[in-house]
Amino acid sequence: MGLARTLAIRAVNLILVLLLVLFLVVVIIGATGTSDKILMSIVRQEVSTYRQAISRTITDPEALEKAVETYRQELIKAYGLDKPWYTRIGDMFRRIIFLDLGVSKSLQTFSGSNKVVDLIMERLPNTILLVTTATVLSFIIGLLVGVKLATAIGSKLDRALTYFSAISYALPTWWTGIIFILIFYFYLRIFPPGGMYSIPPPEDALARFLDLLWHVTLPIIVLVLATVGSNIYVTRTVVMNIAQEDFVLAARAKGLPERIVRWRYIARVAAPPILTQLILGLAGSIGGAILTETVFGWPGMGLLFYQAIISGDEALILGLVYVFTLVYVIARFVLEIFYVMLDPRVRI
C-alpha cells in the first residue's frame, strides 16, 4: 500500500542523512587529528592493561618494558596508526556506530566503568524519559489550548496569546531553568536544585517514584515552556484556517453533530500540520535537552555532553554526537510514521 512505500522511502532518506553526517564527522576528525588522539588513548589503555597483566609473570623491569613496547607497536600497527587517517575511515565508521571508542578521560558510570559506550548507555534512558515526557505534554497542552483559542479569534485572550507566544519564543530554556532554581529552590525551598534522585535515593519503590517526580518537575516545566508557546500558536492558526474551509461547512450541512465536526473535520485535518510543527521542533528539543540537563544536573546525555566538553574528552564527545544524531533520526522517523498515517495526501 502507499503507506508502506512512503515510509520506506522516508526511512531510507533518514538513514542516508545519518550516514552522511557520520561520514562528514569521520572526515573532520580524521583531518584534524582527533581520530588519532582517540585511537592513541585506546592504545594507551590497552597497553596499561597488558602491562598489569604480564607484570605478574615477568618480573625483570627491562624485559617488562620491552614486552610492553613490543605490544604497543603491535597495537599501533593493528589499529593502522602508522598510516595516514584516510586509510582508517572505514574502521572509524565502524567504531562510532558501535561506540567502540575506548574510555572516557575523566568520567565514570555509577557502576564504575569508564568505557564510553557504558557511560552513554547509562545516561541515554534518562534523557529519553525527560524529553519524551516534555514533548508529549507540550503537544497536548498546545493542542487543547490552541483549539480553544481558535474559536476566540481577536478576543483579549487571543491577543494575550500572541504576546505569550512571543515571550515563550524569546525565553532561553536554560535561563528559565536557572531562574526557576533561584526562585523555587533558593528562595522558596520547594524543589531540589537538580539531579534525578535525592542522595541517597529512597529504598521504597513508591517513595522512589515520588522522589523522581519531585526532581523531574522543574526540568519538565522548563522544557514544556520552551515549546508550548509555538505549539499553541501553530495549532490556533491551523485550526482557524481549517475551520473556514468548505468541507467543514459541508459537514455541518450534512447534519453531523458539532462534536463530530470538531473532531473529524477540524482536529483530524489539523493534525498533520501540527505534527509537522512537532517534527520541526525536534532538533530544538535535542538542544533543549542538552541545556536543561546541564542546568539541572539531570544525569542524561546532555549533561554528559557538557561534562565532556569541559574536560575536552574527544572520544566521549564523538560518541555522544553520534548517539544524538541517531536518536534524532529515530524520533523523526517515528513522528513521520504518525504523519503519513494521518495524512493520506502524502502517500505515494
Using the rule CB under 8 A, which residue among 4, 78, 179, 210 binds another protein?
179
Largest Cα separation within the chain, whole Å, is 97
Q: Are 311 and 106 contacting, i.e. CB atoms less than 8 angstroms apart?
A: yes
Nearer to another protein, 75 or 177 (CB): 177
Q: From 35-43, 46-54, 65-73, 183-191, give the range in contact with another protein by CB under 8 A.
A: 183-191
Which grid coordinates belong to 337? 510514521
Interaction residues for another protein, span 268-307 (CB under 8 A): 268-269, 272, 282-284, 286-287, 290-291, 294-295, 305-306
Of residues 33-52, which lie at the interface with another protein (CB under 8 A)? Answer: 34
Site string for another protein, 200-239 (x = CB under 8 A): ----------------------------------------
Q: Judged by CB, which is closer to another protein: 47, or 279? A: 279
In the complex, minimum distance from the CB of residue 199 to another protein, in angstroms, rounded to a whole number:
15
Piece of the chain touching another protein by CB under 8 A; list 16-24, 64-72, 115-123, 204-212: 16-24
Q: Does 84 bind another protein (CB under 8 A)?
A: no
Of 310-329, binders to another protein (CB under 8 A) are 310, 312, 317-318, 320-321, 324-325, 328
Residue 25 CA neighbour count, 13 Å, CB half: 22
Angstrom distance (rounded) from CA 6 to CA 9? 5
The H or E element that residue 239 is part of is: helix 205-243
Cell digits of residue 143: 493542542
Least distance to another protein, CB of residue 174, Å? 6
Using alpha carbons, select from 12, 16, 1, 3 the residue that is nearest to residue 346: 3
SS (H, E, C) 131-180: HHHHHHHHHHHHHHHHHHHHCCCCCHHHHHHHHHHHHHHHCCHHHHHHHH
Beta bridge partner(s), residue 103 = 115
**Selected binder of another protein within 12, 136, 166, 210 (CB under 8 A):** 166
- Give the amino acid at 255: G
Q: Which of residues 88-147 bind another protein (CB under 8 A)?
A: none
